[in-house]
Amino acid sequence: MKLAPNSKLVFIGDSITDCGRARPVGEGLFEAIGKGYVGLVDGLLGAACPAHRIRVVNMGCSGNTVRDLKARWQTDVLDLKPDWLAILIGINDVWRQFDLPRHPEIHVGVEEYERTLRELVGRTRPVLKGLVLMTPFFIEPNPGEPMRARMDQYGAVVKRLSAESGALCVDVQAVFDELLAHCHPAALAWDRVHPNVIGHMAIARAFVQAVGVRVAAV
């Protein structure tokens, strides 16, 4: 596995990451880490590599855009001194353009998204042992659907920054596209954004595979 023993792995993002995690810091007992993919990653790492004792921390916040991440970056990332950091952001940056089209002041265009994410990666990469960038996604099989097409543009930014920074990239959209070849979006998320347990498990599985944990296919 790419994570060294006793590494501290921090996840940051929006509601997909948050999933009811504890405040102010998402770690500890009684589902403090949340009920989504972060908790499943913690379980998979603990079950597959118990001797590594990986410390997983969830700093997701529902509704966040990359602007919000920038505002809390010092306290919620840098001050926690992670060895590894995973970032999943961009869904609300796109979604607000579609569900609140008359509120342009809260829209985060792709240029601002790339500029801000690049800044955060640049500030943090030198102090990390490892970085994982995860693409935003929309659980929609038609790539021509407007929100899906826009989301793919933001995903392309993540892939580009991953290559430039030497980060691992988890293509979450590709994970859902594979599932969508076999089921309707409603079987994975009621709103095509917030996954059910199947969707969260698919994200968690892709993440642990990216960091070098073998998860056998059924």
pLDDT, tens digit (0-9, with 9 covering 90-100), for 80-96: 999 999 999 999 999 99
Locate 114 and state its tokens. Answer: 């790339």
Nearest to 126, CA basis, from 180, 172, 82, 67: 82
pTM listed for this prediction: 0.96
Position 168 in a domain: yes
What CATH code is carried by the domain that includes residue 100? 3.40.50.1110
Position 19 in a domain: yes
What is the pLDDT, as a whole number, of residue 215? 75
Q: Which residue out of 52, 162, 191, 200 is catalytically annotated? A: 191
* Residue 134 near residue 87 (C-beta atoms within 8 A): yes
Position 13 in a domain: yes
Position 2 in a domain: no
Position 15 in a domain: yes
Active-site residue, 194 included: yes
Position 81 in a domain: yes
Q: Which residue out of 7, 14, 15, 177 is catalytically annotated? A: 15
Q: Is the pLDDT of residue 208 over 70?
A: yes
Percent of the chain clearing pLDDT 90 (strictly above): 96
Q: Which residue out of 52, 107, 165, 194 is catalytically annotated? A: 194
Range of the domain at 174: 8-210
Active-site residue, 18 included: no
**For residues 152-164, average pLDDT:** 98
What is the pLDDT, as a whole number, of residue 150? 98
Local confidence band at 217 (pLDDT 50, 70, 90 cut-offs):
low
**For residues 182-194, average pLDDT:** 96
What is the pLDDT, as a whole number, of residue 70? 98
Position 201 in a domain: yes
Cα(186)–Cα(66) distance, integer angstroms: 27
Nearest to 203, CA basis, from 177, 184, 183: 177
Active-site residue, 15 included: yes
How many structural domains is the chain composed of? 1
Per DSSP, the three-state class of 199 is: helix
Position 217 in a domain: no
- Tell me the sheet residues that pair with 156: none
pLDDT, tens digit (0-9, with 9 covering 90-100), for 102-142: 999 999 999 999 999 999 999 999 999 999 999 999 999 99
Cα(205)–Cα(12) distance, integer angstroms: 18
What is the pLDDT, as a whole number, of residue 48? 93
What is the pLDDT, as a whole number, of residue 214? 80
